[in-house]
Amino acid sequence: MVNVAVVGYGNVGKYAVGACLDAPDMELVGIVSKRHAGETAANKTIVTEASELPPFDVALLTAYTRLVPDTAAELLARGVSTVDSFDIHGEIPALRKRLDPIAKQGGAVAVIAAGWDPGSDSVVRALMLAMAPQGITYTNFGPGLSMGHSVAAKAIAGVKDALSITIPTGAGVHRRMVYVELEDGYALEQVAAAIKADDYFAHDETHVRPVDSVNALRDVGHGVLVSRKGVAAAADNQLLSYQATMNGPALTAQVMVSAARAAARQEPGCYTMIEIPPVDLLPMSREDAVRALV
C-alpha cells in the first residue's frame, strides 16, 4: 500500500484526492492547503503544512507549477518522494538536474512533469520516435483550457481572474487567447504587455481580451493530437497519430496518481515519465500485466 498526501487543493488536487481513493493500492493520508486549511474533504481535515500529517510515502504536488521546485526539494531532503505536473517544458531538464542529487541523498524518488503534457504525451512521443527514428513529430494542443497558462496570467499584476484558451493552428504552432478580468486602475495595454512577456506566452501568438466574467467562459475541456510522419526500417511515409480529448485537471491528477505508484517502485533519484517502465504505472503485478496487455 502506498501512503499518499495531496499537496494543494485546487482543480487538480480535488481530482487527485478522488483518484487516490479509487486506487486499490493507495491510502490517502491527508491533504495540505493553506487556502482550505480547516475544511474537511474525503473525511480528512485539511492542514496547512505537510509536517502536520502522519508519515506518508509520496506527496502529490498539485499546486502552481512555479511553486514545485522549492516544495519538492524540501520534501525530498526529508526523505519523502514527490510527484508533480511541472509544465514549463524548457525548464524540465534543469529541474531534473536540481532534484536528482537531493532525492538520492534523501533516499527518495521525484517524478517530475507527470501530467498529460508533459507526461503521458511525452511517453507517446518517445514511442513514436522508437517506431520511426527519422521524421518529424508535431504536438497540437486544444482547442481547450490551459491550466498552467491561466494561472500564470492570473498571477500578473492587475489581473483579477484569467482564462487562457489554446488554439492549434497546425504543425505544432499555437495561438493563446487570454481572457482577463482587470483590477481597478489597470489598463488593458499594460496587463497585456506583461502577459505576453511571461515565459508561458512569449513563444506563441498571444491575444489578450477583457471580459466581465471569466467564470462565464470557463470549461476545463482540452484536447491533443500527436502525429509523426517518418521512416521505419528504411520504409518512407509511416504516419503515426495519437488523439485525445479530456478533462484536463482530471487526467493530470490520474497520471500523477499512477506516477506515485511508479515512484514507490524506483531507485532513489529524479525521473521524467519517459524514464519509468510503463508497467510500473499499473496497479498490478508484472506477471498480470504481461498476461493482460502483451
**What's the CATH number where 200 sits?**
3.30.360.10
Q: Which residues contact 123 (CB under 8 A, 6 or more apart)?
A: 273, 274, 278
Instruction: Please tell me the total count of domains within the chain.
Output: 2
Condensed to tens digits (0 to 9), the pLDDT of residues 146-168 reads 999 999 999 999 999 999 999 99
Quote the pLDDT of residue 174.
Answer: 97
Q: Which residue has the cell 501530467?
A: 115
Does residue 279 sit within a domain?
Answer: yes
Does residue 152 sit within a domain?
Answer: yes
Quote the pLDDT of residue 221.
Answer: 96
Does residue 254 sit within a domain?
Answer: yes
**Is the domain of 14 the same as that of 96?**
yes
Condensed to tens digits (0 to 9), the pLDDT of residues 236-290 reads 999 999 999 999 999 999 999 999 999 999 999 999 999 999 999 999 999 999 9
Give the pLDDT band (50/70/90) at residue 225: very high
Predicted structure pTM score: 0.94
**Is the domain of 75 the same as that of 15?**
yes
Helix H or strand E encompassing 16:
helix 11-22
Quote the pLDDT of residue 196.
Answer: 98
**Is the domain of 287 the same as that of 180?**
no
Quick one: 40 exposed, middle or buried, by C-beta within 10 A (0-12, 13-18, 19+)? exposed
Among 150, 141, 156, which residue's Cα sits nearest to residue 215?
A: 150
Quote the pLDDT of residue 12.
Answer: 97
d(CA 9, CA 13): 4
Does residue 28 sit within a domain?
Answer: yes
**Is the domain of 110 the same as that of 7?**
yes
**Is the domain of 150 the same as that of 202?**
yes
Mean pLDDT within 130-142? 98
* Percentage of the chain exceeding pLDDT 90: 100
**Is the domain of 144 the same as that of 182?**
yes
**Is the domain of 87 the same as that of 170?**
no
SS3 139: strand
Does residue 232 sit within a domain?
Answer: no
Does residue 233 sit within a domain?
Answer: no
Of 221, 256, 282, the residue at which a domain comes to its end is 221
**Is the domain of 161 the same as that of 207?**
yes
Which cell is 104 given? 538520492
Does residue 191 sit within a domain?
Answer: yes
**Is the domain of 99 the same as that of 143?**
no
**Is the domain of 114 the same as that of 255?**
yes
Quote the pLDDT of residue 37.
Answer: 96
Of 171, 186, 221, the residue at which a domain comes to its end is 221
CATH of residue 51? 3.40.50.720
Q: Which parts of 137-263 fold into alpha helices (H)?
A: 147-154, 188-197, 248-263
Domain range enclosing 167: 139-221
**Is the domain of 113 the same as that of 258?**
yes
Quote the pLDDT of residue 30.
Answer: 98
How far, in Å, are 13, 47, 50, 84, 103 from residue 8 at the CA level? 5, 10, 10, 11, 21
Mean pLDDT within 11-26? 97
Condensed to tens digits (0 to 9), the pLDDT of residues 76-128 reads 999 999 999 999 999 999 999 999 999 999 999 999 999 999 999 999 999 99
In order, the DSSP letters of 229-292 are EEEETTEEEEEEEEEEEEEHHHHHHHHHHHHHHHHTTS-SEEE-GGGS-GGGGSSS-HHHHHHH
**Is the domain of 7 the same as that of 96?**
yes
d(CA 250, CA 292): 25
Does residue 123 sit within a domain?
Answer: no
